[in-house]
Amino acid sequence: MDFLRTPDARFASLPGFDYQPDYISDLPGYDGLRAAVIDEGPADAAHVYLCLHGQPTWSYLYRHMIPVFLSSGARVVAPDLLGFGRSDKPLDEEVYGFDFHRQFLIRLIERLDLSQITLVVQDWGGLLGLTLPIAAGMAERIDRLLIMNTTLATGHPPSAGFLAWRTYAGARPDLDIGALIKRSAPHLTPDEIAAYDAPFPDQTYKAGVRAFPKRVMTEPHMDGVEVSLAARTFWAEQWRGKSFMAWGAADPVFGLDVMEDMYQLIRGCPAPLVIHNGGHFVQEWGEEIAKAALSAFERT
């Protein structure tokens, strides 16, 4: 498989993110591709926060949440999906299918033998991550959920906000990622914006960025619909773990109607924390969210 590897020099200065990745290149089915994984905290911690980013971001998105999780004594695992961050980036957009990424996450969890997982998801991290419990042997590894601005895509017609995003992204093969994220979080500094741009020296590195909006399951025949429907049943009927939801209310793609659907879906989910000025990349308000989630988990 042809791929690109972002030069390390691009990541020399990352404000608020001094974590050094482990590199894994022996996942079954992904031979030759190197994945970057932040893995911090005690190996035998009582809880493992598995933080899954979406499009077009990378594990840098969790820099405000990781310290809070670590301060609780937990372990934090934050992978960069293939095509993003410091992970290798296949050149062929057709590679970036739903199963390609979902199986990657399953193999990674097995490779690291993660258990007592708190699943932390947003955007594509949720479209993928929320389906993990229905994979063989995965449900018993997950005991808590922290969900932000995401959904399960089951082939239904998309919202106007998502259609606008898909059209916008499709017209920009060299999507300006830093500018996009700054619109969601205007308080970001120029150095933080540069960190979001760091994985992508030019548009040849952005095959995954271009592919993901096309892969959201908005038609019944699309890959991922079947497992996403099964996942809805799991979260509504079989889930017995603890949950916490936070939502950026200013998100034009996954708005309050989507939040309400997910809130009603997840069995036993308490009322969400609404970040009224928070946009789609709500992890930029992550310290508040992480502290609130820890407090809620301790109470229940």
Domain ranges of the chain: 3-299
Mean pLDDT for 183-194 is 96
**What number of H helices and E strands is found in the chain?**
10, 10
List CB contacts of 149: < 8 A, sequence separation 6 or more. 122, 123, 126, 247, 248, 251, 253, 254, 258, 259, 280, 281, 282
Q: Using one digit for the tens of pLDDT, what is the confidence trace for 42-61?
A: 999 999 999 999 999 999 99
Q: Are 293 and 270 in contact (CB under 8 A)?
A: no
Query: Is the model's pLDDT at 203 over the cut of 80?
Result: yes
Q: Are 118 and 145 in contact (CB under 8 A)?
A: yes
d(CA 75, CA 40): 6
Query: Is the model's pLDDT at 273 over the cut of 80?
Result: yes
Neighbours of 161 (CB within 10 A): 16
The pTM is what? 0.97
The band of 251, judged by pLDDT with boundaries at 50, 70 and 90, is very high
Residue carrying the six token digits 């419990």:
133
Tell me the torsion sign for CA atoms 168, 51, 275, 247. Answer: positive
In a 13 Å sphere around the CA of 53, the CA atoms on its Cβ side amount to 31
d(CA 271, CA 117): 22
Q: Using one digit for the tens of pLDDT, what is the confidence trace for 98-123?
A: 999 999 999 999 999 999 999 999 99
The per-residue pLDDT of the chain, averaged, comes to 96
CATH of 3-299 given 3.40.640.10, 1.10.1740.10, 3.40.50.1820, 3.30.559.10: 3.40.50.1820
CA distances from 194 to 177, 200, 283, 299 (A): 9, 10, 17, 39
Neighbours of 293 (CB within 10 A): 28
* DSSP assigned state of 235: I
Closest CA to 162 of 80, 252, 98, 223: 252
Q: Are 47 and 144 in contact (CB under 8 A)?
A: yes
* DSSP assigned state of 93: G
Query: Is the model's pLDDT at 175 over the cut of 80?
Result: yes
Query: Is the model's pLDDT at 300 over the cut of 80?
Result: no
Mean pLDDT for 63-80 is 98
Q: Are 243 and 147 in contact (CB under 8 A)?
A: yes
Verify cis geometry, omega within 30 degrees of 0, for the bond prior to 186.
Answer: no
d(CA 108, CA 35): 9
Mean pLDDT for 174-201 is 97
Positions annotated as catalytic residues are 123, 251, 280
In the chain, % of residues over pLDDT 90: 95
Mean pLDDT for 178-199 is 97
Query: Is the model's pLDDT at 88 over the cut of 90?
Result: yes
